[in-house]
């Protein structure tokens, strides 16, 4: 494979979609969801199983693919033994994967929060976008509402454009771009000796500045016939947008990939993505812009 194709590769379109096969009870619905996406987006499918290849597993996978209707001419199965996270990431890189689809626990317990699960580790380290499915369905349901982060970051425009690309192809009309205003950060920007009118004016200016930044990003995006709304919300980054997505009953939350790899201390003093991964409000797409 020509790995130079990964450099500066756009975050979309999704031309190759990989799905991790674990032969768990959730395997069938996860594969069905990945197949629906590949059909809609015209992408090829790559089925990855990290573990021993046996005749029983081959037969089970063949039957599952046949039942779901996976086209063997537009799909490929790779069997490989090894450490799950590193092996999946290696295969995604070698095969120029644009989107990796994984099943995910809707809420992780404390033990897994600190030790990390396969889905969490891959989400942090992947060089492609990652879709975590909270409640995959053997008969995939149509997405109706998408929420996207609008944080001030060079990656954000790529994340929004990727969300719009999905919305257009999946016929989603309701897309909300959310900008989180960190309340503690806002408090630090206001001096202790500020008067009430001064405090009100500072808050107003910060809100207007945030709105202007988001509007500048939106002007560079092609929303087509997708109904795009934007909203500023107050709260801890990650936690606030997660709660908003849950309250809105969103089908998909789309966020930027982490800026850096997170270590043990980052997981204890949670970053924005950690709040979301610890208690997924809905399906989660982590966009890797490859910038």
Q: In degrees to the nearest 10, what's the CA dihedral of 228, 157, 124, 145?
A: 10
What does the pLDDT look like over 80-126, one tens digit per residue? Answer: 999 888 999 999 999 999 999 998 765 555 444 434 467 778 887 88
Helix (H, G, I), strand (E, B) or coil at 207: helix
In this prediction, residue 140 carries a pLDDT of 92
In this prediction, residue 117 carries a pLDDT of 66
Dist CA 89 CA 77 (whole Å):
15
Q: Which of 157, 160, 97 is nearest to 127 (CA)?
A: 97
Dist CA 68 CA 253 (whole Å):
26
Looking at domain 142-279, its CATH class is: alpha beta
Per the DSSP assignment, residues forming a β-bridge with 18 are: 46, 100
CA distances from 192 to 185, 189, 280 (A): 14, 10, 37
Looking at domain 1-140, its CATH class is: alpha beta
In this prediction, residue 290 carries a pLDDT of 80
Can you give the pTM of this predicted structure? 0.86
Span(s) in the chain for CATH 3.40.50.620:
1-140, 142-279
In this prediction, residue 44 carries a pLDDT of 96
In sequence order, which ranges of 118-271 are alpha helices (DSSP H)?
118-125, 156-169, 183-188, 196-219, 239-248, 264-268
- For the chain, which residues score pLDDT lower than 50? 110-116, 264-270
φ/ψ (deg, to 5) at 95: -105, 15
**Structure tokens given for 132:** 């975590």
Q: Which residues contact 33 (CB under 8 A, 6 or more apart)?
A: 101, 133, 136, 137, 140
In this prediction, residue 206 carries a pLDDT of 61
């Amino acid at each position: 494979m020509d790995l130079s194709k990964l450099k500066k590769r756009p975050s979309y379109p999704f031309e190759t979609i990989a799905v991790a096969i674990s032969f768990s009870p959730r395997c069938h619905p996860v594969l069905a969801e990945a197949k629906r996406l590949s059909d809609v987006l015209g992408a090829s499918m790559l089925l990855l199983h990290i573990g021993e290849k046996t005749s029983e597993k081959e037969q089970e996978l063949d039957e599952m693919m046949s039942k779901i209707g996976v086209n063997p001419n537009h799909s490929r199965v790779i069997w490989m033994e090894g450490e799950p996270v590193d092996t999946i990431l290696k295969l995604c890189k070698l095969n120029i994967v644009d989107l990796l689809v994984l099943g995910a626990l809707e809420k992780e317990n404390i033990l897994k929060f600190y030790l990390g699960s396969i889905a969490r580790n891959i989400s942090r380290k992947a060089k492609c976008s990652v879709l975590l499915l909270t409640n995959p369905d053997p008969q995939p349901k149509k997405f109706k509402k998408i929420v996207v982060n609008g944080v001030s970051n060079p990656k954000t425009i790529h994340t929004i454009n990727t969300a719009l690309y999905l919305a257009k192809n999946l016929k989603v009309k309701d897309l909300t771009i959310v900008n989180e205003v960190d309340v503690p950060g806002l408090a630090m920007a206001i001096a202790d000796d500020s008067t009430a009118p001064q405090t009100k004016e500072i808050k107003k200016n910060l809100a207007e500045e945030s709105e202007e930044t988001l509007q500048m990003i939106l002007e560079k995006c092609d929303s087509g016939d997708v109904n795009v709304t934007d909203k500023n919300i107050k709260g801890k980054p990650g936690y606030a947008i997660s709660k908003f997505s849950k309250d809105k009953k969103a089908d998909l939350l789309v966020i930027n990939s982490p800026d850096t790899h997170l270590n043990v201390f980052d997981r204890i003093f949670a970053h924005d993505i950690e709040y979301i991964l610890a208690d997924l409000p809905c399906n989660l797409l982590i966009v890797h812009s490859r910038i």
